[in-house]
Amino acid sequence: MAKKRIVVILSLCLAALLAVHFGITFLYLTPDNPLRSKHWDKIYAYIYPYFSQNWYLFAPNPVNQHQNLEIKLKYITKDGKETETNWIDLTKPMLQKLYSNRFSPNLRIYEFQSSAMHTYVYDEDEQKEAEKNLRLYVDYYLKTHPKPEGKIISYRMRVVTNKFPRFNERHLPDSKGKKYYDYSDWFPYS
Amino acid sequence: MMDKWVKMITKEHALIGLSLTRIFFGIALLYELVINLPSRHLLWGPQGLAPYTDYQAYARENQFYTLFDLSSSFLLVDLIFLGGIVVAICYIIGYRTRLMGILMAIIVFSLYFRNLEITHGGDNILRILLIYLIFARVGAHFSIDAYRKRRAKEKPSKTLFAFFQENPTWVAIKAVLHNFAWFACILQVAFLYFASGSYKIMGEMWQSGTALYYASRVQDFYTPYLTELLWMFEPLIVIMTYATVIFQVSFPFLLLNRYTKYFAIFSACSLHFGIAVFMGLADFSWIMIGCELMLLLDDEYRKIHQWLLKWIKRPKFAQKQEAA
């Protein structure tokens, strides 16, 4: 008899717990509404970090442009002249590697730069943070890839956003897309 | 009525399905750790793309701790990776499953929050479900634990621990916890699909039936040759775009009936298989298919098993085997 009572009480408690838990989760996931914004601090404090979640998967619209990270280096050649390189695309070679093998650590590394670029261009509040991440990535790139001969003194980044052809013109190549550029300042490099 | 209800809630449900989910989740973590072994310091290391001081400031601000708070050394990253590989293997084969489940949850949580920039939806659902699964018995099948338990039953021990373990009240409590943990997992997965589907309804590309084109053309998810093939069939793009949204929004409701549930599982697996092949998101899809596996009840798995046995043993198939 005691067993039955324990089972019933425990079940009711757990049912109540799940109802509250998923009620809060529901409000956490809804778009902004009066109830949510009124209690947002409490909702966030409960959900974050253990049950935080984001299901904007290809939503509300899928990403519909390419973004490439490019850098320009300023360096001093052996005979002491200050020179600039052309824009170097850091994203394209990474993608080529990914197309030939998706099962590699490159997938997460690619995700890092892609996420930083997106934030850099579209999220004004987080732009400084994103720029920092892009610079970390450039540092890693310069450490691990061949550089021009001479001493690099500074670099500049730009994110190339390419709105590739829309659905009705889907037979057109990427090069026919509309391009937008976001430039960073020059940063010293040593 | 009450007795029937108590009987139902004290019987552990979906033991086979949850064991399969366990194996899928274990493989998911094992895969991530092994494949990212060469880049572990770059992505999770103290002087990598997510500097340690930034991580610590963020963690303190949000009041949480991960394994990475133990030390800022490179060695800790190596230990977490090697330990994680061992834990994942033990979880897959079901050795000390409950303990390994807790460690799995801690490791996935730690890796997730150490570098938030590189996480995706698969990591997110895995991280949450592993917390619920701590309370479920996910080692009842296909596990070393189950094998050892069967052997132990042949020669029962008389220790105090065994007495406590076999106490009917304790067994009942564990069963109730198991069932609610399983239910929480299903609810969480239903929330995922419903939220993801209803956000899509708000986007004009999903409304105009062309979202699939954009999602597959963007270079992150583009697959050479295969994707162009997809674009050639306009009706296919439109139908698949709408089908995705309708499926995602209706997923929770499809689970309410036995036969529509089968349809939901079939649709989900097709969707994720498609995403894996056409968009290169294999690890995300693997985890999602792992989630679907817990939706079938033990009776349903036994039926599938019998059906498969019958199919293999049917005369025509047996003859072909002999001929070969």
Q: Which pLDDT score, from 0 to 100, does residue B160 have?
A: 65
Q: What is the three-state SS of chain A? A: CHHHHHHHHHHHHHHHHHHHHHHHHHHHHCCCCHHHHHCHHHHHHHHCCCCCCCCCCCCCCCCCCEEEEEEEEEEECCCCCEEECCCEECHHHHHHHHHHCCCCCHHHHHHHHHHHHHHHHHCCCCHHHHHHHHHHHHHHHHHHCCCCCCEEEEEEEEEEEEECCCHHHCCCCHHHCEEEEEEEEEEECC
> Are B128 and A57 an interchain contact pair (Cβ–Cβ within 8 Å)?
no
CA-based nearest residue to B235, from B258, B205, B255, B212? B212
Per-residue model confidence (pLDDT) at position B159: 66
Average pLDDT, chain B: 94
On whether any CB of chain A is under 8 Å from the CB of B280, the answer is yes
**In A, which residues are within 8 Å of B37 by CB distance?**
105
Q: Which residues of B touch A58 (CB under 8 A)?
A: 200, 211, 215
pLDDT confidence of residue B228 = 85
ipTM for the assembly: 0.94
pLDDT at position B230, please? 86
Confidence of residue A110 (pLDDT cuts 50, 70, 90): very high
Q: Choose the closest CB to B6 out of A8, A18, A57.
A: A8
Q: Which single residue is written with the structure tokens 């079901």?
A: B94
**pLDDT (tens digit, 9 = 90+) per residue, B263-280?**
999 999 999 999 999 999
pLDDT-derived band of residue A2, with 50, 70 and 90 as boundaries? confident
Which residues, 6 or more positions from B274, have their beta carbon under 8 angstroms from its beta carbon? Answer: B240
List the single best residue of A48, A57, A90, A118 to mutate versus B (max B Cβ within 10 A): A57
CA distance A137 to chain B (A): 7
Domain range annotation of chain B: 12-311
Cβ contact (<8 Å) for A11 and B180? yes
Q: Which residue do the tokens 């998810």 mark?
A: B221
pLDDT band at B285 (very low <50, low <70, confident <90, very high): very high
Phi then psi for residue A182, to 5 deg, are: -120, 115
- Dump pLDDT digits (tens) for B28-83: 999 999 999 999 999 999 999 999 999 999 999 999 999 999 999 999 999 999 99
User: Strands A151-163, A178-188: parallel, antiparallel or unpaired by DSSP?
Assistant: antiparallel
